[in-house]
Amino acid sequence: MSLSAPSRPLAGILWMATAGLCFVAVTALVKVLGPRIPAAEQAFLRYVLGLVFLIPMLGPLRRTTFDARLWRLFGIRGVGHTLAVILWFYAMTRIPISEVTAMNYLSPVYVTLGAALFLGEKLAARRIIAIVVALVGVAVILRPGFREVDTGHLAMLGTAVLFAVSYLTAKIVADEVAPAVVVAMLSITVTIGLAPFALVVWVWPTGWEVMMLFAVAVFATAGHYAMTLAFKAAPVTVTQPVTFLQLVWAVLLGALVFAEPVDGFVILGGVLILAAVSFITWREAALKRRAVTPPSGATKL
C-alpha cells in the first residue's frame, strides 16, 4: 500500500497559477523601479532584504558538514546565479516584460543540454527535436535581421544559460545535503557575490525603493513556496502547462500598465519554447526516470 499523498490536480493548478502571479509581480516591481538604481545593486538589495527568510534554515545549515567538494559546488552555483540575476535585472530595464518572461522559459532547455553534456543524461531523438523547437522559438522572438536585437535580449540569453548552470549544480548537491541548506547557501553565496558589483555602482536608494525591493524578495519567496506546493499537490505534467498563464499575464501587464505593445511573435516564440519544455518534462515522466529537466519557474530568481 502506497503512503504517498493522492494527486490533487485542481490544487496543483491553482498553486502554480498563484506562483505565476507572484513571479509576474516581481517583474512588475522591478520594471517600476526602472534604471535609476543599477541592476547589480537592485539584485544585491533584493537578496540582502530576503536574508530574513533564512532564519528557519539556520538549524540545518549549522548541522551540515562542508567538505572541499561541497564548498566548490556551492561556489560554482553562487557565481553562476550571481551573474544570472545581474543580467536579469539589467534585461528588465531594457526590454518588455513579455519578452523577459518568454525568454526565461528557455532555461530548462539549457538544463537538458547541460545534463546530457555533464551528467550523462541521454538525449533521444524526440528530445533533440524539442530542443530545436525551443531554439526556433528564440529565433521567432529575436527575429535577427528583421528587428534590432537589444542588449537586454543578449542579457536574457546569458541569464538562461547561467540559471541552467545554477540548477544543474543544485541537482548535484541536493543528493548530499538537506533542501534547506541548498536554499540557504544559494542566498548567502549570491548575496556575497553581488556585494562587490553593487558597491562599484552604488546609488543610495530612497526608502520607497527599499520597500519595493523588499516586496520583490517577498513575492519571489512566495512564488517559490507556491510552486513547491503545486509540485506536492499534482504531477509536473499537470502543473507545467499552467506556467503559460505567466506569459499571458506578463503581456497584459506590459500592455495595460507600462504601455508596451503586444507582439504576436513574442507570444508565438514563448509558446514554442514552453511547448518544448512541457514535452521534455512529459517524456521524463512517461519514462519514469529521475527528472533532470526542471519545470518552467524552477530557475527563477
pLDDT at 281 (0 to 100): 73
Cβ 139 vs Cβ 268: under 8 Å = no
Confidence of residue 289 (pLDDT cuts 50, 70, 90): low
| Residue 38 pLDDT class (50, 70, 90 cuts) | very high
What residue ranges do the domains of the chain occupy?
9-286
Residues 6+ apart with CB under 8 A from 83: 158, 162
Reported as a single tens digit per residue, the pLDDT across 64-89 is 888 899 899 999 999 999 999 999 99
Element holding 82 (H helix, E strand): helix 68-92
What are the pLDDT digits (tens) for 229-249?
887 777 766 776 777 788 888
- Give the mean pLDDT of the chain: 84
pLDDT at 284: 67
C-alpha cell at 216: 520583490
Task: Determine contact, residues 210/46, Cβ cutoff 8 Å.
Answer: no
Residue 215 confidence (pLDDT): 94
What backbone torsions phi and psi does residue 147 show, to the nearest 5 degrees?
A: -155, 160
Backbone angles phi, psi at 18, to 5 degrees: -65, -40
Q: Which of 23, 96, 26, 102 is nearest to 258 (CA)?
A: 96
> pLDDT higher for 157 or 229?
157
Q: Which residue has the higher pLDDT, 171 or 21?
A: 21
* 56 pLDDT above the threshold of 90: no
Give the integer Cα–Cα distance in Å for 102 and 250: 9
Q: Which phi and psi (to 5°) does residue 91 adopt?
A: -60, -35
pLDDT tens by residue, 193-223: 999 999 999 999 999 999 999 999 999 888 8
Nearest-CA neighbor of 32 among 254, 203, 297?
A: 254
pTM above 0.95, yes or no: no
Q: What does the pLDDT read at residue 206?
A: 94
CB 268 within 8 A of CB 138: no
Work out the pLDDT band at 6, boundaries 50, 70, 90.
low
Instruction: Give the residue from 128, 55, 105 showing the smallest Cα distance to 273.
Output: 105
| Structure confidence at residue 41 (pLDDT) | 94
Higher-pLDDT residue of 114, 137: 137
Q: Which three cell numbers stand for residue 42?
A: 537592485
Using the predicted structure, report yes or no on whether residue 168 has a pLDDT greater than 60.
yes
| pLDDT (0 to 100) of residue 2 | 42
Taking alpha carbons only, the member of 130, 125, 124, 120 closest to residue 168 is 120
Q: pLDDT > 90: what percent of the chain?
A: 25
pLDDT greater than 60 at residue 291: no
Tell me the pLDDT tens digit for each residue of 123-136: 778 888 888 888 89
